[in-house]
Amino acid sequence: MSVSTKGSTGAAGRFQGVRAYLDHTQFAGRPVGWYLTGWRGGLIVLFLAILFPWVVADQSLIQTGIAICVYVLLALGLNIVVGYAGLLDLGYVAFFVIGSYTTAVLTSGFIADAKGVPHNFTPISFWLVLPIAALVAGFFGVLLGAPTLRLRGDYLAIVTLGFGEIVPIFFNNVPYFFAQFGIQATQPADIGPISFQSATDNSPIYYLALSLVVLVILGVISLRESSLGRAWIAIREDETAAAASGINLVRTKLLAFGLGAFVGGVGGALNTAFVPAINPSEFNFGISITVLVMIVLGGLGSIPGVILGAVILKLFDFYLLGRLNDIVHASPLVTEPGAPFHFLAAFDLGTTKFLIYGVVLVTIILLRPQGLIPNVRRQRELKGIGASVEGASAVGLLEREEAGLLEPSAEEDEQSAFTGAGSDAQGRDS
Amino acid sequence: MTTFASSGVSLLLQQIENGITVGAVYALVALGYTLVYGIIELINFAHGDVFMWSTVVTLAIVQAMGLVHPLGGLALVGVMLMLIVIGMAVSGGLNVVIERFAYRPLRRAPRLAPLIAAIGVSFILENLAQLYRGAGFTAFPSIFPIGGFNLGGVQINFLDIFILLLAVVLMYMLNQFILSTKLGRAMRATAQDPEAAALMGVNINRTISVTFLIGGALAGAAGVVYSMYNGQVWFFTGFQLGLVAFTAAVLGGIGNIYGAVLGGFLIGLVQSIAIQYLPNGIAWSDATVFAILVLILVFRPSGLLGQQVPDKA
């Protein structure tokens, strides 16, 4: 968790003023930066998050806070898979859907038969369903991972993408889940004097969300420090070396996949606890991509990074884009009929959201692949990407050899290229 | 009873005819995936959207020319030739630009980086098209002569024949190019061993650019005829069709051009038949394709025409 002030060598020049302030300004005998580093910074953020509902009395802001918590959970879960284990999962929404539907069905007490006729059963309390939903999502993570994790990384990306597409199709087309009508969510039962069903006060759900986030963060930290976490990182850095050191590749990857899905299921359950109803059409590829952008933006493998990424993207989504739209539409450069940007008047900037996500994804991966708050180890691994533009165009063999560009494929059949044998989908992950 | 049976047979034959036509489009797009994967081992996620931009540009040209009715004679030949050339140039050029600015700087990076860049590019292309054309479908005027002939209960349209002919001609040209030109040899050499190829004087960067150009151009040609076949243009077409074409490339054995063609036609057939015979088939047709993809990857990851190569990792 050593972050924020350390390890920003990539863009050091630009942040020198801030860094000098953090390093040299003393507060109670320590530099200011010391207080913001590691668990101390985390505690400060947590403290602010706890105060949040008291400071803002606005219920819609608290709801935003809950939605941010849902996405922070998703980002933390996907970070296990992509950031730690280095497996690209493009269908993460699937586990979010599974968590949401498990919770909705079990807490509502309604399920349809094959003809779409509803039948009711005794609803189960949200507090019991929460772990069940997470386990069900984790189970499906393992189920999907077991046959596919033997594949090399880029195939895995496609298979997970397909899974993410199929799961909402499934909920939309089988009769048991009321298809397009969706399922009305049931609020969690009260605990003592704390009511989770109040229409006027969202703060209990907010604190529930915050506690889940804290629990998941603690879990993820202890996982990362465990032998399993080190095995994930070893696999990410060099699969061959990891296997040679006695790491069981399939089992280790499967655990990353299952645990990532488990956290996604927690996110889904929490989502169901506060939205009025869930509907298959809300769950789409856009969610998978949004979560991916969050963790890439914040910093793959960095817990504070992915949290920051989730918060930034959700705030951008909820407020900044709308605000920006208002500003643009109020500008005389746009409103005047002859003005240079008049064509923007009839244009809703909200529709550019995913365009901006795409630009963020490409820009970050090209210019700052370690993200906003880098994980120090990951940064070292990704180092030199931005600087390789000139190197890549040089034909010098030595240079490419050092850089490990396009490893020689001696094991391929001699007449393989294009006309003969294709390459294998398995193994070979450089 | 006999009429019922024969209509059942002709229904199946009709779906086979549809499958072959749409399979030709899949095969052309799948070739782009396979060529790029063969040479730099990258799944070009943006490839489907490069295809989609060809449909968007084709529609723009047709609208600019004010064409709304089926053409005939020389006008048809001229317009089709022009649209195909422009479509190929747009998609091929777009693919080269993407490679140059988004993938080439990441060639030394860990595998994940260019994949993420490709997803980002795909999103940018899709959303630019959405900004330009809106979120809905736009109808494509039927400028190709409607009609065809009926062969034992199976309707074969002129456009279907044209699509199949175009695909076969382009595939033949690609095969000749790869097997018997200097650049084709450079591509094969680079795909097999880039360093040895560089030692023999092959310009690796140029060869990779040419590969992206050809892959994009094939998708561009497919885009022109697909928009006519489908009768509409949509910004999201590339996402779905790209996934199907990628599945085709994997089914045939990724990196193998004959495999991509075979896979394209097979997937086209499977999809048409699934739409016809599965209950609520249209809703499940994408799911069928993904199921096939997973099954191939699990049981025969090297695809139908690929050879099993030893694991390196």
Would you give per-residue pLDDT tens digits along chain A (430 residues)? 444 444 444 445 556 677 777 777 777 777 777 777 777 888 888 988 888 888 887 888 888 999 999 999 999 999 999 999 988 898 999 999 999 989 988 888 777 777 777 778 888 888 999 999 999 999 999 988 887 777 766 778 888 888 888 888 888 877 777 766 677 777 777 776 777 777 678 888 899 999 999 999 999 999 999 999 999 999 988 888 999 999 999 899 999 999 999 999 999 999 988 887 888 888 888 899 999 999 999 999 999 999 999 999 999 888 887 787 788 777 777 777 777 676 666 677 777 888 889 999 999 999 988 888 887 777 777 654 433 333 333 333 333 333 443 333 333 333 444 544 444 444 333 3
> Using an 8 Å Cβ cutoff, are A234 and A44 in contact?
no
Q: Which residues of B touch A381 (CB under 8 A)?
A: 110
What is the per-residue pLDDT for A14?
A: 57
Distance of CA A229 to the CA centre of its chain: 18
Q: Inter-axis angle of helices B237-252 and B47-64, to 10 degrees?
A: 130
Dist CA B49 CA B51 (whole Å): 5
A110: part of which helix (H) or strand (E)? Answer: strand A110-112
Which residues of chain A have a CB within 8 Å of the CB of B253? 421-422
In terms of Cα–Cα distance, which of A228, A359, A217 is closest to A302? Answer: A217
Q: Between A90, A152, A417, which is nearest B191 by CB?
A: A417
pLDDT for residue A400: 37
Contacts of B131 in chain A (CB under 8 A): 351-352, 355
Q: What are the pLDDT digits (tens) for A268-314?
A: 999 988 887 888 888 888 899 999 999 999 999 999 999 999 999 99
Q: What is the pLDDT of residue A421?
A: 41
Question: Tokens representing A89?
Answer: 């999962």
For residue B175, what are the contacts with CB-CB under 8 A and spacing of at least 6? Answer: B257
B183 touches chain A (CB under 8 A): no
Give the pLDDT confidence score for residue B96 in this predicted structure.
Answer: 97
Helix boundaries (H) for chain B: 2-40, 47-64, 73-98, 112-133, 158-180, 182-192, 194-199, 204-230, 237-252, 257-277, 281-299
Contact A316, A293 (CB under 8 A): no
User: What are B255's two structure tokens?
Assistant: 């990196």
Q: How does A163-192 read in b/e, with b if 16+ C-beta sit within 10 Å?
A: bbbbbbbbbbbeebbbbeebbebbbbeeee
Query: Do B116 and A429 count as a contact with CB atoms less than 8 A apart?
Result: no
Residues β-bridged to residue B233: B138
Q: Three-state SS across B131-194? A: HHHCCCCEECCCCCCCCEEEECCEEEEHHHHHHHHHHHHHHHHHHHHHHHCHHHHHHHHHHHCH
Phi, psi angles (nearest 5°) of residue A215: -60, -45
Structure tokens at B257: 């051009």
pLDDT value of residue A81: 94
Tokens 């069940």 identify what position? A132
Tens of pLDDT, residue by residue, chain B (313 residues): 344 445 778 888 899 999 999 999 999 999 999 999 988 888 899 999 999 999 999 999 999 999 888 888 899 999 999 999 999 999 999 999 999 999 999 988 888 889 899 999 999 999 999 888 888 899 999 888 888 888 878 889 999 999 999 999 999 999 999 999 999 999 999 988 888 999 999 999 999 999 999 999 999 999 999 999 999 999 888 988 998 999 899 888 888 899 999 999 999 999 888 888 877 767 777 778 878 887 887 788 788 887 554 433 3
Q: How far does Cα A69 stand from its chain's mean position? A: 12
What is the DSSP secondary structure assignment for residue A19, as one 8-state letter? H
- What's at A389, amino acid-wise? V
Pairwise CB contact (< 8 Å): B256 & A419: yes
Range 117-146 of B in CB contact (< 8 A) with A: 117, 119-124, 126-128, 130-131, 135
Q: Which residue of B has its CA nearest to A154?
A: B43
8 Å CB contact between B184 and B173: no
DSSP H or E run through A12: helix A12-24
Helical (H) or strand (E) element with A120: strand A118-120
Task: Dig out the tokens for A55 from the structure.
Answer: 């400071």
- B312 CA to chain A: closest CA distance, Å? 5
Q: Which residue in A has a C-alpha nearest to residue B179's C-alpha?
A: A419
CB contact under 8 A, B105 and A385: yes
CA–CA distances in Å: residue A41 to residues A33, A61, A370, A380 = 9, 23, 20, 23
pLDDT of B41 reads: 85
Q: How many other C-beta atoms are found inside a 10 Å radius of the C-beta of residue B288?
A: 18
Nearest chain B residue to A410 by CA: give it: B193
Residue B169 neighbours by CB under 8 Å, 6+ apart: none
Q: Provide the Cα torsion B111, B113, B117, B118; round to 10°.
A: 10
pTM of the model: 0.82
C-beta atoms of A397 and B116 within 8 A? no
| Residues 6+ away with beta carbon under 8 Å from B239 | A285, B48, B49, B122, B126
B201 part of contact set with chain A, CB < 8 Å: no
Q: What is the 3-state secondary structure (H, E, C) of A340-392?
A: CCHHHHHCCHHHHHHHHHHHHHHHHHHHCCCCCCCCHHHHHHHCCCCCHHHHH
Q: How much is the pLDDT for B5?
A: 47
Residue contact A243–B313, C-beta within 8 A: yes
